[in-house]
Amino acid sequence: MFNNRELISQVAVTAAQMRDIEARIFAAGIPVAALMEKVAGLITRRVEEILGQGDKVNNYSSPSPPLPLSPSPLRIGILAGPGHNGGDALVVARELYFRGYEVRVYCPIPKLKELTSQHLQYVRSLDIACYESIQNLQDCDFLIDGLFGFGLERDITEPIAGAIHQLNQWNKPVISIDVPSGLHTDTGEILGVGVRATYTLCLGLWKLGLLEDQALEYIGEAELIDFDIQYADVQAVLGEYPKVKRITTASALSTLPLPRQQVTHKYKEGNLLLVCGSRRYAGAAILTGLAARSSGVGLLSIAVPQSLADTMISHLPEALIIRCPETESGAISQLNLPANTDLNKFDAIACGPGITLDADSVVREILDSSKPLLLDADGLNVLASMGTLPTLQKRQALTILTPHAGEFKRLFPDIDVNQNKILAAQEAAKQSGAVVLFKGSKTAIANPQGWVWIIPQSTPALARGGSGDVLTGLLGGLIAQAVSRNLSVEKMVATAAWWHGRAGILAAQERTQLGVDALTLTRYLMPALTSVNR
């Protein structure tokens, strides 16, 4: 279905897995030196492209000022460590020198790997200035970080720790090779101190640590430098179907329920029940419904308190609005489904946005259904109060949970969420038997079998009240369509999160990050898809 290069772009690996994959490549006959030359050539080409972008080097996640373009030639500072990451950096230094840039090298560790030492020797033969003090690079226009690559396990200590602190204080544009120096390859944890990069050029395969929330302030804008690893080598190490994958545009689009058959009708395109809203949180019901409508679901029913019904009809005239009795506080007190209808008539149920804890009895009733169920917001809080694991272990149908960090801790108090989001999501899914969509800057989706999908791109513009309601509606509609078409529900969960994030990115680009309220976000759901299909 996908070609070799697309599959490569989806895979994420640990340091140990990357070592094993590289070992296969070297065992097949490619010399280490040849691969280093190839990789460094690709890095050099990308560096020159970045240098040509001027102030585009700086994006919202970067602390650096615009790149000055006036000096000629540009002064490039190279940070070279003792390993092959340093070797890559030294080859880049050589190539940039040959292209007319003024190059300076900071090489603080005298004991180098043999190949790296040879490249340093040649760099010195070209009269490229090499220093043991970072201060000699302070007036450089641009810095390339090749101190430590993947696999660093110990905290960085003095004097290099001090040098990195100084570098970060300069606020100059920095490109890190593979991973920013000081970043743990697997977890994204900072080992004492870390380089704050403007760009990270990840080599060969994505490293898991780059997909963790805690790495975001260090990696800047990350991209993959594909040096033609064969997917067969990846499968030999990770198995035929690697369990941790990034959701790419191609993989997300392939999962959407498109194209539709020429001969179809609304009963074939998913039947969704939303249970949402209260007198206090009427907006949550509106946002959830609008997003569900954008999903393309064939039939949409929305259960709300009686006092919200007329408002809902005015916003969603095509939906079936179910008027439910309500508590004194304005929450749904019980479902009031139409005659000859029960919960099992729907393809999927989504419950939680804006319902408040006073709708406890309704959540309990829905949990007894035999249909795929999405729980969000107060639906999750009610579940936590009931006991997450014993409650879900009684369910026969699939459950999808969409917690943010606070809700996750209430649902799974024994799982540490502070260090590794991917492992936390995996463990929660394993324990609960549910699909867990762990929200964040890097959203992770895990299923009970240990498969994980990572949403690699998002925007802080989504840090607004109501964004989660939009995700619930969109996701509910796509799940209903997946069920009606016998598609993978778990993959559809990941696709919905990708779609939601893409809409936020597009809205932020057109309106600025401050202008992406949840209602605006719903209006960008369709443009987010059409923009990638052009």
Q: Confirm whether residue 142 is marked as ligand binding.
A: no
Residue in this structure with the two tokens 């019904």, named with its chain if needed: 309
Q: Is 150 annotated as a binding residue?
A: yes
Does the annotation flag 468 for ligand binding?
A: yes
Q: Is 84 annotated as a binding residue?
A: yes
504 is in an annotated binding site: no
**The CATH homologous superfamily of the domain defined by 261-531:** Ribokinase (3.40.1190.20)
pLDDT tops 90 at residue 266? no
Beta carbons within 8 Å of 389's beta carbon, 6+ residues apart: 431, 432
**Binding residue per annotation — 54?**
no
Structure-token match 């994505």, residue found: 206
Nearest to 401 by CA among 427, 431, 377: 377
SS3 273: strand
Residue 378 counted as an annotated binding residue? no
476 is an annotated ligand-binding site residue:
no
Separation CA 196–CA 215 (nearest Å): 10
Give the other-Cβ count within 10 Å of 397's Cβ: 14
456 Cβ neighbours under 8 A, 6+ residues apart: 206, 211, 222, 246, 247, 248, 442
Instruction: Tell whether residue 265 is among the known ligand binding residues.
Output: no
Question: What is the model's pLDDT at position 533?
Answer: 61
**pLDDT per residue over 195-228, tens digit each?**
999 999 999 999 999 999 989 999 999 999 999 9
**Number of neighbours of residue 161 by Cβ within 10 angstroms:** 16
Q: What is the pLDDT of residues 328-358, one digit of tens each?
A: 999 999 999 988 889 999 999 999 999 999 9
| Predicted local confidence at residue 458, as pLDDT | 87
Instruction: Report how far apart, in Å, the C-alpha atoms of 113 and of each of 88, 109, 120, 395, 464 are.
Output: 12, 11, 10, 56, 49
Ligand-binding annotation for 145, yes or no, is yes
Q: Is 87 annotated as a binding residue?
A: yes
Is 38 annotated as ligand-binding? no
Question: Collapsing DSSP states into helix, strand and coil, what is residue 480?
Answer: helix
| Alpha helix segments (H runs only) across 143-202 | 160-170
Q: Is 466 annotated as a binding residue?
A: no
Q: How confident is the model at residue 1 (pLDDT cuts 50, 70, 90)?
A: low
For residue 16, give the H/E element and its range. Answer: helix 15-27
Range with the poorest average pLDDT among 23-27, 144-148, 224-228, 264-268: 264-268
Residue 388 confidence (pLDDT) above 80? yes
3-class DSSP state for residue 437?
strand
| Residue 48 labeled ligand binder | no
Residue 149 assigned ligand-binding role: yes
Q: Is 88 annotated as a binding residue?
A: yes
Q: What is the DSSP letter of 453?
A: E
454: which strand partners?
Answer: 246, 444
85 is in an annotated binding site: yes
354 is in an annotated binding site: yes
Residues 32-67 have pLDDT tens digits of 999 999 999 999 999 999 988 544 343 333 333 344
Is 432 annotated as belonging to a binding site?
A: no
The size of the chain, in residues, is 534
pLDDT at 264: 86
Question: Tens digit of pLDDT for each residue in 272-313?
Answer: 999 999 999 999 999 999 999 999 999 999 999 999 999 999
What pLDDT score was predicted for residue 72? 65
pLDDT tens digit sequence for 492-508? 999 999 999 999 999 99
* CATH superfamily, domain at 4-242: YjeF N-terminal domain (3.40.50.10260)
d(CA 36, CA 116): 10
pTM: 0.91
Q: What are phi and psi of 358, to 5 degrees?
A: -70, -10
192 is in an annotated binding site: no
Beta bridge partners of 407: none
Same fold? 4-242, 261-531: no
Can you give the pLDDT at residue 55? 41
Determine if residue 104 is labeled as part of a ligand binding site.
no
Question: Does 368 count as an annotated binding residue?
Answer: no
The rounded distance, in Å, linking the Cα atoms of 105 and 128 is: 7
Sign of the CA dihedral with 466 first, then 471, 472, and 477 last: positive
Q: What is the DSSP string of 323-348?
A: EE-B-TTS-B-S--PPTT--GGGSSE
Domain range summary for the chain, segments of one domain joined by +: 4-242, 261-531
- State whether residue 281 is helix, strand or coil: coil
